[in-house]
């Protein structure tokens, strides 16, 4: 076997923040495309990237943005802070009325798109775009009032090109009050004019809004956040359909966590068709297996990073590279691969693997391979990172307080497996309503905190929601097992 030269500290495993990883000079080589997500995102009807936190949504859209960029294709990624800055500039901290949320998002998309177009077009098209900015200012002012009243007072002046121009706070040739219908007509006029500028530019514009779930900390109240995200997704679909109807190849893309999508469904939002037809769900089908661990998708991702980080090994296939850099446990009855150990003690997401192996590198920087025994020693440090990530996921749950209470009570009980009745006794002295307790346990199951125990003693199997083939709902007749990394963090 080829000897390993150098140390594992020379391997770039990735960053927990996809935007930071995208700054790497060789980012496009480091990227692992899994199930062909890049090609799928290139399809006309795909514009929403979903997945659990840490599955690589930000990395995918950064890769997509870099790959499509050319003289013809213009792409820009927007973080939620940019959206909030624009919202604050329009209506400050005021709450947007439910019935006007769609108008708000439609205006935001047009506003951002116009700014992007103006950065790329020249000559008469640039002049045309600058004229449209006057319309944006008028609509901006009108939107401030639309959020609060049914009437919009604005100063409208004649304009030879578009029939409208703004004179906010000044004197115009004509002063007029117009209602909602007239306001929406102005939005349509702006969209029509802007799309014609794009068509004449012969360029394609891609706007990508990343981490929409982060808006949960920006909007006051969970109910308000849910309504705003539901409205955004509806407008996202409509806006892309409008672009397509103008025969434009431009597109607006967004990323959103799967648990937020699920929460929208719980709240009664009919998004099933949109998520089925227009979304790409990033799931890492990484089954635990004792043989051929180099064939597991998450292992392929790591091996690709090793190959790119250490070019002297680029000619080795995955099997050769794995055997060179990973040491498995070969003891009888305890036989297990290094990758299987990581999968057992995580959710099997790219971020988990990056965190786990990065903690290993910090503890054993002089090593030249990832040893099984030392992986077990790294679990304690990784479990802290793992728990912090989990808390972030729980932050938008309506059951957050009860979920945290459950973990606190579990810590004190020092028990690893529970029946439905034992959980009820632990938390509520057996007095919790059956339906409400089922809802809590289901939420813990879908977060991956609890798994379902099948079989007895030497023939036990475990079902965790994040693994392939797991049922959508847990069986309440079975026992429940705490996730391995959480057991380690809670010292159970």
Report pLDDT digits (tens) over 143-194.
776 665 444 443 333 333 333 333 333 333 333 444 677 778 888 999 999 9
Residue 107: partners with Cβ closer than 8 Å, 6 or more residues away: 139, 140, 143, 187
- C-alpha–C-alpha distance, residues 17 and 170, integer Å: 46
Q: Is the pLDDT of residue 140 over 60?
A: yes
CA-nearest of 453, 492, 484 to 341 is 484
pLDDT category, 288, cuts 50, 70, 90? low
Would you give the DSSP letter of residue 246?
T
Q: What average pLDDT does the segment 196-212 reach?
A: 94
Report pLDDT digits (tens) over 95-115.
888 888 898 899 999 999 999
Average pLDDT along the chain: 85
- What is the b/e burial string over 151-175, where b = at least 16 CB atoms within 10 angstroms of the residue's CB? ebebbbbeeeebebbbbeeeeeeee
Q: What average pLDDT does the segment 330-353 reach?
A: 85
Q: Tell me which range, 52-56, 181-185, 220-224, is most confidently predicted by mean pLDDT.
A: 52-56
pLDDT category, 334, cuts 50, 70, 90? low
Owner of token pair 């939002």 = 269
pLDDT at 136: 86
- C-alpha–C-alpha distance, residues 267 and 247, integer Å: 35
The pTM for the full model equals 0.87
Token duo for residue 13: 């495993």
Burial class (CB in 10 A: 0-12, 13-18, 19+), 196: middle
pLDDT at 35: 78
Q: Is the pLDDT of residue 269 over 70?
A: no
Backbone angles phi, psi at 289, to 5 degrees: -150, 145
CA-nearest of 433, 435, 285 to 349 is 285
pLDDT at 179: 64
Q: What average pLDDT does the segment 399-421 reach?
A: 89
Q: Is the pLDDT of residue 341 over 80?
A: yes
Element (H, E) at 322: helix 318-325
Q: Is the pLDDT of residue 287 over 50?
A: yes
Q: Where are the beta strands (DSSP E) in 269-391?
A: 279-282
Are 306 and 361 spatial neighbours (Cβ–Cβ below 8 Å)? no
- Of 147-161, 417-431, 460-474, the poorest mean pLDDT is in 147-161
pLDDT at 166: 35
């Amino acid at each position: 076997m080829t000897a390993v030269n150098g140390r594992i500290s020379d391997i770039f495993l990735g960053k927990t923040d996809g935007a930071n990883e995208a700054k790497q000079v060789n980012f496009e080589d480091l990227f692992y495309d899994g199930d062909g997500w890049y090609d799928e995102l290139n399809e006309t009807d795909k514009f929403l990237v979903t997945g659990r936190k840490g599955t690589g949504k930000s990395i995918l859209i950064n890769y997509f943005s870099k790959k499509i960029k050319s003289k013809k294709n213009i792409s820009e990624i927007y973080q939620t802070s940019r959206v909030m800055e624009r919202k604050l500039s329009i209506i400050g901290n005021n709450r947007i009325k439910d019935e006007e949320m769609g108008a708000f998002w439609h205006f935001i998309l047009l506003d951002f798109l116009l700014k992007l177009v103006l950065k790329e077009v020249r000559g008469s098209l640039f002049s045309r775009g600058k004229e449209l900015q006057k319309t944006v200012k008028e609509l901006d002012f009108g939107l401030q009032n639309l959020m609060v009243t049914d009437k919009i007072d604005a100063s409208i002046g004649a304009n030879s090109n578009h029939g409208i121009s703004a004179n906010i706070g000044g004197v115009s040739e004509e002063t007029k009050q117009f209602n909602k219908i007239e306001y929406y007509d102005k939005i349509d006029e702006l969209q029509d004019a802007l799309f014609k500028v794009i068509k004449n530019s012969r360029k394609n514009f891609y706007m990508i809004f990343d981490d929409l779930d982060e808006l949960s900390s920006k909007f006051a109240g969970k109910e308000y956040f849910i309504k705003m995200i539901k409205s955004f997704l509806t407008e996202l679909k409509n806006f892309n359909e409008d672009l397509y109807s103008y025969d434009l190849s431009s597109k607006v893309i967004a990323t959103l966590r799967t648990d937020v999508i699920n929460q929208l469904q719980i709240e009664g939002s009919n998004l099933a068709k949109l998520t089925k037809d227009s979304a790409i769900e990033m799931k890492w089908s990484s089954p635990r297996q004792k043989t051929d661990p180099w064939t597991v998708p998450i292992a392929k991702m790591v091996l690709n990073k090793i190959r790119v980080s250490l070019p002297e090994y680029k000619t080795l296939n995955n099997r050769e590279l794995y055997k060179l850099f990973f040491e498995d446990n070969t003891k009888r009855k305890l036989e297990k691969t290094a990758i299987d150990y990581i999968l057992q003690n995580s959710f099997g997401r790219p971020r988990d693997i990056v965190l786990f192996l990065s903690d290993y590198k910090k503890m054993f920087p002089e090593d030249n391979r990832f040893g099984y025994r030392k992986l077990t020693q790294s679990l304690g440090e990784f479990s802290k990172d793992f728990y912090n990530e989990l808390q972030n996921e729980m932050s938008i749950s309506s059951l957050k307080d009860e979920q945290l209470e459950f973990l606190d009570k579990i810590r004190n009980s020092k028990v690893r497996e529970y029946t439905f009745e034992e959980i009820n006794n632990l938390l509520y002295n057996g007095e919790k309503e059956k339906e409400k307790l089922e809802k809590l346990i289901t939420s813990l199951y879908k977060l991956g905190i609890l798994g379902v125990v099948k079989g007895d003693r030497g023939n036990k199997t475990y079902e965790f929601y994040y693994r392939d083939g797991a049922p959508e709902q847990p069986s309440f007749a079975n026992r429940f097992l705490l996730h391995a990394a959480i057991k380690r963090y809670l010292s159970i």
